[in-house]
Amino acid sequence: MLDQKPNKTEDQHTDLLRQFHLRPTRQRLALADLLFNGPCRHVSAEQLRLETKNKGINMSLATIYNTLNQFTKVGLLHEINLDNNVTYFDTNTDHHHHFFDPKTNKLIDIPRDAISLNALPDAPDGHDVERVDVIIRLS
Amino acid sequence: MLDQKPNKTEDQHTDLLRQFHLRPTRQRLALADLLFNGPCRHVSAEQLRLETKNKGINMSLATIYNTLNQFTKVGLLHEINLDNNVTYFDTNTDHHHHFFDPKTNKLIDIPRDAISLNALPDAPDGHDVERVDVIIRLS
DNA sequence: ATAGCTGCAAATGCTTTGCAAGGCC
DNA sequence: GGCCTTGCAAAGCATTTGCAGCTAT
């Protein structure tokens, strides 16, 4: 009965951050709210700055970068780089693939098993395969 | 008998540039020489600046960028962006794939038919598939 | 209390642009 | 000669860093 929705998700994010040994500060909770509530997202730091600004949350761009990098380091986010030399952060950290529309710089997720990769070549010399990324560029 | 090697490749590059309506200036010929003589390469503007400098060729970094962008526009090069937000230029403009070693930022070509992509999902709404890039990240 | 965060501003690194001077046709 | 190209310096972005002040535990 005391389980009110607004507090519930906030509490969930508090727990989430604690799990990764990140203090649940106001700024981190605000970003977690924007990133991990709705469906999966692909966002840049600048986009998040606008979103926090529109919600009346005061947060410097440096803190947004620092926070996104921390989230990435602990595995809450995944980094993607495209043509325009802007870093995008993917809230879907599962192994999966992407459509990319160069006109809008938008990414669309493709589930991992929607693409079957056969006959992958062996990794060279002393290396192992860490991940395979497929990017289907649209026109 | 008059067909001396040094002049021959230079002439070839002169012709190449003319084909693409680019004037064969000293700087463009120097870059064409570095890029299109040996095996396929993946280079950044900064790498080429060092190489021209070491060869005693005087060339500003801005001109290197401008030239690489022109070469890319006409299809002599292909642009690749990786984690470090540095633009690399690939002298292999055929449809092919890459190993990527994040430690050294080095790329290794994979021939197109060394990877078989089955069951590619359809492109969304009004889009077509322009290209499929596979990046095998090494560790 | 203290270790960790944040904000600001400045610095950094890559890339592009404006403009005067030089080179190709 | 005229237009294209170059060089330099400055500007432009995205991102990181240093440090003083603030906050969570």
Q: Give a yes or no: residue A81 inside a domain.
A: no
In this prediction, residue A40 has a pLDDT band, given cuts at 50, 70 and 90, of confident
Q: What's the pLDDT tens digit per position in A1-21?
A: 444 444 556 778 899 999 999
Residues 6+ apart with CB under 8 A from B70: B22
One domain for residues A66 and A114: no
Which residues of chain A make contact with B135, given a CB cutoff of 8 A? 132-133, 135
Return d(Cα A72, Cα A76) in angstroms, integer: 6
The count of C-alpha atoms lying within 13 angstroms of the C-alpha of A8, restricted to the half-sphere facing its C-beta, is 6
Q: Are residues A57 and A119 in the same domain?
A: no
Same domain, B72 and B98: no
From first to last of its 139 residues, chain B has per-residue pLDDT tens of 444 444 557 678 899 999 999 999 999 999 999 999 888 899 999 999 999 999 998 899 999 999 999 999 999 999 999 888 899 999 999 999 999 998 888 899 999 989 988 778 989 988 999 999 999 999 8
> Looking at strand D, which nucleotides approach a protein CB closer than 7 A?
4-10, 14-18, 23-25
pLDDT digits (tens, 9 = 90+) for A50-104: 999 999 888 999 999 999 999 999 999 999 998 888 999 999 999 999 999 988 8
Q: Are strands A97-101 and A106-110 parallel, antiparallel or unpaired?
A: antiparallel
- From CA A18, how far away is CA A65, in angstroms rounded? 20
A83 located within any domain: no
Residues A59 and A1 in one domain: yes
- Domain hosting A109: range is 94-139
- DSSP per-residue codes, A47-109: HHHHHHHHTT----HHHHHHHHHHHHHHTSSEEEE-TTS-EEEES--SS-EEEEETTTTEEEE
* Residue A112 amino acid letter: R
CATH number assigned to the domain comprising residue B35 = 1.10.10.10
pLDDT value of residue A8: 58
- Distance CA B47 to C1' D12 in A: 22
pLDDT above 90 for A27: yes
Query: 3-state DSSP call for residue A11?
Result: helix
Query: How many structural domains comprise chain B?
Result: 2
Residue A7 has a pLDDT of 53
Nucleotides of C under 7 A from a protein CB: 4-10, 14-18, 23-25
For residue B67, the SS3 value is: helix
CA–CA separation, B64 vs A100, rounded Å? 28
Q: Within this chain, do residues B123 and B68 fall inside the same structural domain, yes or no?
A: no
